[in-house]
Structure 1
Amino acid sequence: MPLPDMVEIASGPISARFAPRWGGRLTHLIHAELGDILVPTHETDFDPWNWPKAGAYPLFPYHNRVAGAAFCHLGKGYTILPHPALAGDAMHGPAHRRVWRIEEKATDGATLRLDYEADTEWPFSFTAWQTFILNDQGLSLRLKLLNRADRPAPAVIGWHPYIQASLDDKAHTDATAAYPLDPLSMPIGSVPCHRDDETIPASSGYTLHFRNWSKAELVRGKAKIVISADPIFGHIAVHRTERYLCLEPVSAAAGVLGLPESERQASGLVMLAPGENLSGDIKMSITSIKHGEPS
């Protein structure tokens, strides 16, 4: 049976659309009063190596860069397919470039599933799920990754939303630690520095990596958008441009596969035995600020 090109769910003032063939993407998230919450996806074709900077997509089984598209795992070296535009580095895992399918569908929710077979982009087979549920207050998302390989596999889960925002919109996160970064905006080492200022800078073209957070918030006109997540998502990546703010809950530090193996667990990397899974919930609260209410 052919996969649907687009799937839609709704609850109260909030509606969402998905394109399973486009890497299991959430292409639109709309509030009846507040408008587009995510940058809407207008593309008519999907290039898996030049993906739309819109909507939201899943991060399995790693996020951000793998330097040199190579890593060592349990003493064995692995080489994976690099991104063609990143000077030999791999990026964001293969799941968001593959065809997903709808496993379950209701009026207010949907579960998307990917059965991934080991190949040149990742050497460990896995199954991944995204379960979305809408309510009047926003969106709940459960991510789950099951190791289907016949040996232990490294695992990271995360989510990459493009929240529609200008540089005039105020944002902050209560994260208490920030990683020093190299020229490619990747963490240097495994130990972050203490952070006092909760402000997310109102400038363009940067990426920051934080840990030890409980929420990240954007105030955009009358809209207050708050991201929170289960403790498994101990890290959050922040990327900002003139038209969007990415608040990305992730379960491990960026570049974790480049750390010495003895340091990876402390930076969030999970080792899944065959048949084990890693899962966690993310919430996006969407509320309207009333006149006179502090933002």
Structure 2
Amino acid sequence: MDAPTGEQLSIRNRDAHAVVTTIGATLRAYEVDGVAYLETFGADEAAPMGSGAVLVPWPNRVAGAVWTHAGERHRLEVTEPARGNASHGLVRREPWTVTAHDADSVSLAVVVEGREGWPFSFRATITYALGDRGLTVTHGLHNLGDHPMPFGVGTHPYPRPGHADPDDCVLRLAATTHLPLDPESMVPTGGPVPITGHDFAAGTPLRDVDLDDAFGGCVPGPDGLVRHSLRGPRGGVELWADPVFGWVQVFTPHAFPGRAGRAVAIEPMTCPPDALNSGIDLLELAPACTWTAAWGLTPLA
């Protein structure tokens, strides 16, 4: 019987190893020298809690699964029935085609057209590569239609700080704003506001901190990259991203399948929840044009 996540695609570079699946182009595992830097799940299991998902052509949620474009109202499939929202785009449960597979990298693609509530056609691509900077993930989007396409891109990894317990870690974010969300629907109740209560720039200890929050205004460092990190006394991991990933959702569930203790999702996004309605940082891709951007994971000693 095929695995729920499809074919398992393994890549290696010296002591680094990653596994990607063909269903959803999901990042299932990443480790260096036998140490996990990503929460994982079994090859015979469905991806839990959005783990490793690719979020295209929008990340996070569309409120009520309804949005308006060019004066026309569109109703998307409700994929979060408990809240009535359309969640995490159109490709995370799709079979992707492998377009290249080398020892240290793998590329996949999927074509989306004729979808309920989405009047655009596009080709999404993704490449996972292992190298000197760790794991690099490059997203691509090509507009196959005749009209400009609004879009956003995100991903849903659960970075793991090596041997460290997340509760013993400090969380640092490049974000400067917070987007208030309704706790029931998890959609925005207004626009971005300054972060209060936590100093994520200096680092906030995670113990006794519970988050399922969207943060924006991510400021690139001197090298032009946005950087978030989890650091503890026994290890750490950094998630870097191109500046277009100006948003990040942080989710700290106290239970993750197969793991004792909490996990931490650090989800780089180009736009906030419900951007198809608010228009905040929503991108647009002209016909026949291609967009690319990258993020990655780097183990910290």
TM range (shorter): 0.7 to 0.9
TM-score by length of 1: 0.85
The residue number in structure 1 matching 2:215 is 210
The residue number in structure 1 matching 2:257 is none
Q: Identify which of 11, 14, 22 aligns with 2:13.
A: 11
The residue number in structure 2 matching 1:235 is 247
Greater mean deviation of Cα atoms: 275-284 or 225-234:
275-284
The residue number in structure 2 matching 1:287 is 300
Q: 1:103, CA displacement in angstroms?
A: 0.7
Structure 1 regions of 5+ residues with no counterpart? 289-295
DSSP-derived class of the 2:40 partner: coil
The residue number in structure 2 matching 1:167 is 167
In the TM superposition, 1:88-103 aligns within 5 A as 88-103=84-99
Q: 1:110, CA displacement in angstroms?
A: 1.0
Deviations 1:245-264 (A, max 9, x none): 111111111111222xxxx1
TM-score by length of 2: 0.83
CA-based RMSD of the aligned residues comes to 2.3
In 1, the alpha carbon distance for the partners of 2:181 and 2:285 equals: 28
The residue number in structure 1 matching 2:30 is 29
Q: 1:86, CA displacement in angstroms?
A: 2.9
DSSP-derived class of the 2:167 partner: coil
User: Is contact 2:57-2:153 (8 Å) kept?
Assistant: yes
Q: 1:204, CA displacement in angstroms?
A: 6.5
The residue number in structure 2 matching 1:190 is 191
Match status 1:87 vs 2:83 = yes
Q: 1:87, CA displacement in angstroms?
A: 3.3
TM-aligned CA distance change 1:222 to 1:186, over 3 Å:
same
In the TM superposition, 1:207-286 aligns within 5 A as 207-213=212-218, 214-242=226-254, 243-259=262-278, 264=279, 267-286=280-299
User: Is contact 1:94-1:121 (8 Å) kept?
Assistant: no
User: Is contact 1:129-1:144 (8 Å) kept?
Assistant: yes
Structure 2 regions of 5+ residues with no counterpart? 219-225, 255-261
The residue number in structure 2 matching 1:293 is none
In 2, the alpha carbon distance for the partners of 1:54 and 1:117 equals: 23
